[in-house]
């Protein structure tokens, strides 16, 4: 059976098959719990065959699987440049969070550090995904020359998304993904708003973003829900 | 000279001296750029003497230095339980950010991953610092039984503080530390506010926190600065 399959696959097809099998295994287990034998067994080939395609063994397979996961993640923020910013962010987050959900154990092992397969190369791939997400968001915000505060604001939000995803896994995947997504969009609006309070460029960006939102969208919903909380700060409007 | 110093120090004093020297070296260089010879030279003793105190060599010294740094960081959030929450957070952040400033290269190497000395033990120490910070904040907020949203909100803010610190190092330590601190306090208020918009416990906490703030404090300042930004969202108050 496996012999037949072996004959029928091209070199490229076989490589892809092994990579997908590895990605599937690394998604749901910590890297130290995945062996080359597991990869070989999952596609019914021999261990030496896996070595023929990946002479660097498990480390090379892991890095190749991570590379392919990174390409997938970098696609998340490549949304059409139209509609309210909150919808574009929600769509990007839906893809990102679905990835986190599907690759739970691997995502956690990769980002919590101290993993046996972690090297400066794997860290560089993770950083590249973060950088690419920041660039995509700046592209959507239509800011070709972002200043310090806007750059920091976007990168901090990306860190928060990553952190919240890990915390979500830690909390047994609670709350439901749609709630987590809405909360992360709220966080973006909140972070942009307070950064805009002290930075002219962010204020311009906030103004343009808010103009694109509608009263029946998530930012309209947030605005109405936030009013009773903000009312408690009414005494702060005047200096003592 | 070093011989005299050697005779005068007790075992505990010598251990502490080596540890402090290691922490100083690990603070300003990546772990791979620190050797046992560097540690020995910096306190004018021989390499075998360092091994006598730390038979596990560089890895053991690194972990001991990290342990002592973690103890220092865990002290940051142990502020008196009085005054507005924004002042308590600002004080905690001042200690934390001073630590980041003083241990720049080491902080970066530790948290960006892929470091040669990183193990599941070093990751556990980093996680312990995060957990301890979250517990301290909950203690200040006086919430003995935090629900899911409040827990996630606090942990996400801690992630954001850590991320913003790394980004700050990456941006050549810009903006000045006091601005970074104020921005991180603003982020806490913003995050609490939007989380309160959808969660009863967070709304209670926000109400109590806001009541402690004064118009001439940072939250009063933020409230006034945020008004012109929020005015741009006035059209969102009504559903279309």
> Which domains occur in chain B, in start order?
2-60 (1.10.10), 83-227 (1.10.357.10)
H or E stretch covering A16: helix A11-28
CB atoms within 10 A of CB A177: 15
pLDDT of residue B3 exceeding 70: no
B230 vs A3, residue with greater confidence: B230
- pLDDT given for residue B2 in this prediction: 52
CB within 8 Å of chain B, chain A residues 68-97: none
* Tens-place pLDDT, residues B12-67: 999 999 999 999 999 999 999 999 999 999 999 999 999 999 999 999 999 999 99
Confirm or reject contact between B112 and chain A (CB < 8 A): yes
Contacts of A193 in chain B (CB under 8 A): 190, 226, 229-230
- pLDDT given for residue A77 in this prediction: 78
Chain-chain contact of B191 with A190 (C-beta, under 8 angstroms): yes
CA nearest neighbour of A193 among B150, B85, B175, B236: B236
pTM, 2 dp? 0.93
- pLDDT given for residue A238 in this prediction: 80
CA nearest neighbour of B203 among B213, B212, B193, B211: B193
Percent of chain B with pLDDT over 70: 96
pLDDT of residue A177 exceeding 90: yes
Percent of chain B with pLDDT over 90: 80
Chain-chain contact of B215 with A238 (C-beta, under 8 angstroms): yes
pLDDT of residue B1 exceeding 50: no
Chain B: give the shortest CA distance to residue A156, in Å: 6
ipTM for the predicted complex = 0.92
Q: B130-136 long-range contacts, Cβ below 8 Å, gap at least 24?
A: B130/B155, B130/B158, B130/B159, B130/B162, B132/B74, B132/B77, B133/B73, B133/B74, B133/B76, B133/B77, B133/B158, B134/B158, B136/B77, B136/B78, B136/B92
* Tens-place pLDDT, residues A213-238: 999 999 999 999 998 998 888 888 88
Confirm or reject contact between A172 and chain B (CB < 8 A): no
């Amino acid at each position: 059976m496996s012999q037949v399959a072996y004959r029928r696959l091209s070199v490229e097809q076989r490589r892809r098959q092994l990579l997908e099998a590895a990605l599937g295994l690394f998604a749901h287990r910590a890297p130290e719990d995945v062996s080359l034998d597991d990869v070989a067994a999952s596609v019914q080939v021999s261990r030496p065959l896996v070595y023929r395609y990946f002479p660097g063994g498990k480390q090379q397979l892991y890095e190749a699987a991570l590379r392919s996961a990174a390409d997938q993640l970098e696609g998340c923020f490549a949304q059409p440049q139209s509609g309210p910013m909150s919808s574009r962010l929600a769509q990007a987050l839906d893809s990102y969070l679905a990835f986190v959900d599907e690759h739970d154990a691997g995502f956690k092992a990769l980002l919590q550090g101290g993993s046996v397969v972690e090297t400066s190369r794997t860290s560089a791939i993770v950083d590249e995904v973060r950088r690419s997400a920041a660039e995509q968001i700046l592209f959507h915000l239509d800011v070709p020359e972002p200043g310090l505060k806007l750059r920091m604001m976007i990168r901090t939000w990306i860190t928060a998304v990553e952190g919240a995803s890990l915390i979500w896994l830690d909390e047994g995947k609670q709350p439901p993904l749609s709630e987590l997504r809405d909360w992360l969009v709220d966080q973006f609006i909140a972070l942009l708003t307070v950064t805009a309070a002290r930075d002219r460029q962010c204020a311009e960006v906030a103004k343009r973003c808010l103009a694109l939102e509608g009263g029946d969208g998530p930012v309209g919903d947030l605005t109405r829900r936030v009013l009773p909380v903000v009312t408690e700060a009414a005494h702060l409007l005047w200096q003592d």
